[in-house]
Amino acid sequence: MSLPDDLVVLEIFPRVKDVVTLFRCAAVCKQWRDLLVSKPSLLRRCFPEEACRSCPFAGFFTQQRRRKGLPAPCFVPGARPVLGPRGPLSSFVPGMGNLAVPLTSRHGLLLVRVGGLLIVCDPLARTFKPLPDLGHNWGRPGCFTGYAMLTAADCPSSERNDQQFPFFKVMIIVVAQEPMHYDLYTYSSSGELGWKVCSSNAAEAGHAIQVTLFQHNAAISHGDAYWFFRSTSGSYIICSSTKTGQVITAMVVDTRLLGDPTYDEPFLSIDADGRLAFLFLRIDGTRLDIYFVRFFLVNLDLVQSCDNSESIKRVWRKYNGTNSHIMLQPPSQRIGQEVVYECLGEKNAMLIIMDNHKRIYIADIKTGVMQEITDCPRGHGLSRREIVPLEMDWPALFISRLGGVAT
């Protein structure tokens, strides 16, 4: 005799305290599994609070070099695989060929480019949504392109739209050098027909700087996207706010480790409280220093809002925090082998590291433990531009796995 659904939902599932037990509940019978899969809100209440608050690091997308032809996109699982072994992008999203280039990801959604076409993919649902033509020359010399994608968790509820594909917002920033000029393109899936664009010419405002974009993937905090770039005149952050529609350039202060030869180039990240932080990895792989970003905005008339509102002038802003460091534990190496490490990316307190022998590691920022990723394309050097870390929502991953179970 089966138990009534109300009894299962109200008396049994709320008593579940861990993910393993939840999977066991789903394996009891088809009735219990269907209840969990069909009720995402119930599933989120059952999951431990920390599991729903932070998405697990699943691995990263990159370009796998081939002896003949162009690089092919592939997924490399993390140290504890949750999505299976390494495989091509087409194994996650049918219809994605070998010409797709992964650009950025957010909360399980992935942005790729196929030729001049931008596409947002949902690897769990195995679906994708092409975006309107941006009309951008992706091979234009002297330009740097940065990417950001936001989901319903980042944007106000008023922007969401009931639809089969999850809500998303894509931002593409194109920075030209001579003179410094940037265009920010924004597209939202909530019924918009095309891209919005706002532009700024920094040279006209007395900021004629030659830039190098160090991160093509933006750091996302409270619905704002941040790109980090360097120049001969200093270090800067470009911020795009989804709330105000404004683009702001800020100079970074307190850059004590910038240019230190014992450290790799900094990586701009977000901590658990949404604060901007620079991650400095020692090139010997033994230590990670975390410096919270402090920057100021002043006399910046160069801002043009996407919604045509007035520019920001004389704005001051500072981010303060307690700087810290983590002692890392690199795997033992062969005697006499010189090893130098560099940071490729970070997602949810998991640092992606490569050494000068092209080996890839995942370091847990909380514990300092480093693990080598053996199921990774060898024979080519990766870079920050080629790494797109993927995070997964636990309840969504749970549903996707149970939904495919044979009855």
Instruction: Report pLDDT digits (tens) over 381-397.
Output: 688 888 899 887 666 66
What are the pLDDT digits (tens) for 165-176?
Answer: 889 999 998 887
CA dist 71 to 85, 317, 321, 349, 352, Å? 19, 42, 41, 29, 21
Take residue 8 and report the two structure tokens written for it: 């299962």
Helices 30-38 and 394-403 cross at an angle (nearest 10°) of 140
pLDDT band for position 309 (cuts 50, 70, 90): very low
| Residue 340 reports pLDDT greater than 80 | yes
The per-residue pLDDT of the chain, averaged, comes to 76
- Report which secondary-structure segment, H or E, holds 173: strand 168-176
Predicted confidence at residue 38, as pLDDT, reads: 65
Domain boundaries, the chain: 1-55+393-407, 142-275+292-322
H-assigned helices in 170-251: none
What are the pLDDT digits (tens) for 288-305?
Answer: 999 887 765 543 333 344
Return the SS3 of 42: helix
Cα gap 295→298, rounded to integer Å: 10
The model carries a pTM of 0.79
CA torsion 78→81→84→87, rounded to 10°? Answer: 10
